[in-house]
Amino acid sequence: MSDAGIDSSQPNGRHEEAALSAPSPSRRTDPDARRSDDVVRNLLRRIREGSLRTGDKLPNERDLATEFGVSRPVIREAISHLTGRGVVSPRGGSGSTVTAVAPERAQEALVLYLRDNRLDYRSIHEVRELIESHAAGVAAVRASPADVEALQQSMRTLRESPGHLAAAADADVAFHSIITRITGNEVIELILSSLHTSLVTVRRHNLALPSAYKEAVRSHQAILDAIVEGDETGARVAMSAHLSAVFQYWQETNQPEVP
């Protein structure tokens, strides 16, 4: 890792180094090498290594500009880049501060990745079934009365809204989200919510099928029953069966198109 740009050499004026036999490393040669990238790397390194910690203020843009020997626009560009990544957040008037990456940011990145790379549903399904079945099992052990009530509420909504696609989809998502939340594991929550977002198409498609809709109601009830009884294995198996059924329905009734 070169990590160039940390030294404050190259004060400002571009150096001339006349006729370096090499491919002339002077000025700019590679169009994909922006000056701001050096700044980005450097700041990220400072953050990673702790000299800039979450909550700290970055030096002001003008100082950074002189420090790196570049102009302010370059610094601003670097900060914009970092803002896009969610690691700093500038505030007009006061400085820019290093912030913790929000879960939404990570989730969004995951969703976009899944979307852009058109991953086959099989891969997503494999992970989802694995994690969510586990979550159901944990929920069976840990669910509080309030949790159970919330689950029952979403069941009622789901049951009472056949034909109401939007409502049914919401109730479906709610049911699964509640179970996820019961685990109290943020990593699980993050991953599953990302997968759920990516599967919105699948969900809508399936719930529009009467048979799949009925299956969903039946399966959700089975899962809920197992959770109420504290039957860890039962909940896990029921969830697994449910998700497999969802996958099945999608595959049988759908064009090879992907979520």
Partner DNA sequence: GCCGCAATATTGGTCTTACCGCTTTGAGCT
Partner DNA sequence: AGCTCAAAGCGGTAAGACCAATATTGCGGC
* Interface residue list for DNA (CB under 7 A): 12-14, 27-31, 34-36, 58, 60-62, 69-74, 76-77, 79, 90-96
DSSP H stretches of helix in the chain: 35-49, 61-68, 72-85, 103-116, 121-142, 145-159, 165-182, 186-198, 200-207, 210-228, 232-253
Among DNA, a second copy, none, what binds residue 74 when CB lies within 5 to 8 Å by partner kind? DNA
Among a second copy, DNA, none, what binds residue 58 when CB lies within 5 to 8 Å by partner kind? DNA
Among DNA, a second copy, none, what binds residue 162 when CB lies within 5 to 8 Å by partner kind? none
Q: Which is nearer to DNA, 39 or 140 (CB)?
A: 39
Residue with the two structure tokens 């820019």: 96
Least CB distance to a second copy at residue 22 (A): 20
Between the alpha carbon of residue 119 and those of residues 15, 113, 201, 242, the distances in Å are 48, 9, 14, 21
Q: Which is nearer to DNA, 1 or 27 (CB)?
A: 27
Binding site for a second copy (CB under 8 A): 28, 31-32, 34, 36, 54, 73, 76-78, 80-87, 91-93, 100-103, 105-106, 108-110, 112-117, 119, 123-124, 126-127, 130-131, 134, 185-188, 190-191
Among residues 38, 53, 54, 27, the alpha carbon closest in space to that of 1 is found at 38
CB 140 within 8 A of CB 222: no
Among DNA, a second copy, none, what binds residue 35 when CB lies within 5 to 8 Å by partner kind? DNA
- The CA R_g of the chain, rounded to the nearest whole Å, is 26
Q: Which is nearer to a second copy, 88 or 178 (CB)?
A: 88
**Residue 99 phi, psi dihedral angles, 5° rounding:** -120, 160
Q: Which is nearer to a second copy, 20 or 130 (CB)?
A: 130
Among residues 206, 182, 149, the alpha carbon closest in space to that of 157 is found at 149
